[in-house]
């Protein structure tokens, strides 16, 4: 029987263990360029079976927070290459999370100060971060405009171009589409944020169209074996809601099955919150079974609130990978600490978003 510390194959990715660093936005990339210390930060964590980077914008339009990185400019790609080289020098594997925030943005972050874009012109009741006088400040997101159907092929193309640049130029081992947490692809999926009446709204197959077109385009660009996708069926993050998520996500994973992806990454419950939500029940085992019944062979990755016992249980029950978020911020050597049952460093919440070395590269490893 497999344990957390056993190797596993996820598509083209041969992983040394089943412990994954979840994507973690750190707001330390002015001008959307990862800083030099990002190479140190990720390399310190390279003993994870897989590192998933912080969410990284596929285009300027896809940008929604101050000082988050991008993947659409030469300097951004050069900076990411320094990160992937540093991780590979430590024997690690790293994929980049491809991000379009959709409506979770602010006019100050958009090209030409324009409105953020969304499936429908409905403002998200959520906040984003701007830097005001050097201080990260939470502000309401701006009112979005509904995307014209004619703009959607450009977004699909941006996902594919970012994926190609990530692998060919920046040296990533693969990419993860961010289909979770109330960002653009999730906004299209869910009927609380998608009120469209064209081919991209209404029926489940229409709401899933943009996510599936984008995933297929990424697979065409870099190969299914280098492509993962993150989904969060019931998270309330960023004000998303669906009236009937089980059939919606069942359809999505059935359509993903033939793409021979590296992994499917599922956030169970409310991201960073309860794993079960009373008024949003969801059967994750049924979702996985539907994917396998449709022929899906990707590694199955789970996340949200895992500790060692829960993660061991998940692997024993047949999940392939477990992603840890907050524990990886404060424990660069999380794999060793879990293996040795060592205590974990405490997380300093004040340095999660923005700042420099403090709370980023200065958490101690075991001696």
Ligand X SMILES: Cc1cc2nc3c(=O)[nH]c(=O)nc-3n(C[C@H](O)[C@H](O)[C@H](O)COP(=O)(O)O)c2cc1C
Neighbouring residues of 96: CB distance < 8 A, sequence distance ≥ 6:
52, 53, 56, 71, 80, 166, 170, 172, 175, 176
Query: What does the chain come to in residues?
Result: 367
The CB density around residue 161, as the number of other CB atoms within 10 Å, is 17
- 3-state SS class at 126: coil
Q: Does 27 bind ligand X (CB under 6 A)?
A: no
Pick the stretch among 20-28, 210-218, 219-227, 284-292 that binds ligand X (CB under 6 A).
20-28
Which CB sits closer to ligand X, 164 or 275? 275
Which CB sits closer to ligand X, 79 or 267? 267
> Minimum Å distance from CB 119 to ligand X?
19
10, containing H or E segment: strand 8-10
Pick the stretch among 87-95, 117-125, 240-248, 320-328 that binds ligand X (CB under 6 A).
320-328
> Minimum Å distance from CB 219 to ligand X?
20
Q: Does 55 bind ligand X (CB under 6 A)?
A: yes
d(CA 297, CA 82): 32
Which CB sits closer to ligand X, 100 or 230? 230
Q: Report the candidate in 216, 219, 246 with the shortest Cα–Cα distance to residue 231.
A: 246
Please pick, among 183, 251, 306, 360, the residue that the annotation labels catalytic. Answer: 183
Whether 65 is catalytic: no
Phi-psi sector, 282: left (phi>0), alpha (psi -120 to 50), beta:
beta
Which CB sits closer to ligand X, 80 or 201? 80
Q: Does 25 bind ligand X (CB under 6 A)?
A: yes
| Residue spans of beta strands (DSSP E) within 185-284 | 227-231, 263-267
Position among 61, 97, 110, 330 found at the interface with ligand X (CB under 6 A): 97
Q: Does 54 bind ligand X (CB under 6 A)?
A: yes
- Binding residues for ligand X, per CB under 6 A? 22-25, 54-55, 97, 178, 180-181, 230, 267, 271-272, 303-306, 324-327, 352
Active centre residues (catalytic): 183
């Amino acid at each position: 029987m497999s344990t957390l510390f056993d190797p596993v194959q996820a598509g083209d990715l041969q992983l040394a263990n089943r412990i994954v660093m979840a994507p973690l936005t750190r707001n330390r990339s002015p001008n959307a360029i990862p800083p030099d210390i990002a190479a140190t930060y990720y390399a310190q964590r390279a003993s994870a079976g897989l590192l998933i980077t912080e969410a990284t914008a596929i285009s300027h339009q896809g940008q929604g927070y101050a000082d988050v990185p991008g993947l659409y400019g030469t300097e951004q790609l050069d900076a990411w290459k320094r990160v992937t080289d540093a991780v590979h020098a430590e024997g690690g594997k790293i994929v980049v999370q491809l991000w379009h925030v959709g409506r979770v943005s602010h006019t100050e972050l958009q090209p030409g100060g324009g409105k953020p874009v969304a499936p429908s012109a409905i403002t998200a009741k959520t906040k984003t971060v701007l830097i005001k006088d050097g201080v990260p400040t939470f502000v309401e997101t701006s009112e979005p405009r509904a995307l014209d159907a004619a703009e959607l092929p450009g977004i699909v193309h941006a996902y594919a171009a970012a994926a190609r640049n990530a692998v060919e130029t920046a040296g990533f081992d693969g990419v993860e589409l961010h289909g979770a947490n109330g960002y653009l692809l999730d906004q299209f999926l869910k009927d609380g944020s998608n009120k469209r009446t064209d081919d991209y709204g209404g029926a489940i197959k229409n709401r899933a169209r943009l996510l599936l077109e984008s995933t297929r385009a990424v697979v065409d660009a870099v190969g299914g074996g280098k492509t993962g996708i993150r989904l969060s069926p019931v998270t309330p993050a960023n004000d998303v809601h669906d009236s009937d998520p089980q059939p919606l996500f069942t359809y999505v994973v059935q359509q993903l099955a033939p793409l021979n992806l590296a992994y499917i990454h599922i956030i169970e419950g409310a991201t960073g919150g309860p794993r079960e939500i009373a008024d949003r029940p969801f059967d994750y085992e049924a979702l996985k079974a539907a994917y396998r019944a449709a022929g899906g062979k990707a590694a199955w990755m789970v996340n949200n609130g895992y500790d060692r016992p829960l993660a061991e249980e998940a692997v024993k029950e047949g999940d392939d990978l477990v992603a840890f978020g907050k524990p990886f911020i404060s424990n660069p050597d999380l794999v060793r600490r879990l293996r040795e049952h060592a205590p974990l460093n405490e997380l300093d919440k004040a340095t999660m978003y923005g700042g420099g070395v403090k709370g980023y590269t200065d958490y101690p490893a075991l001696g």
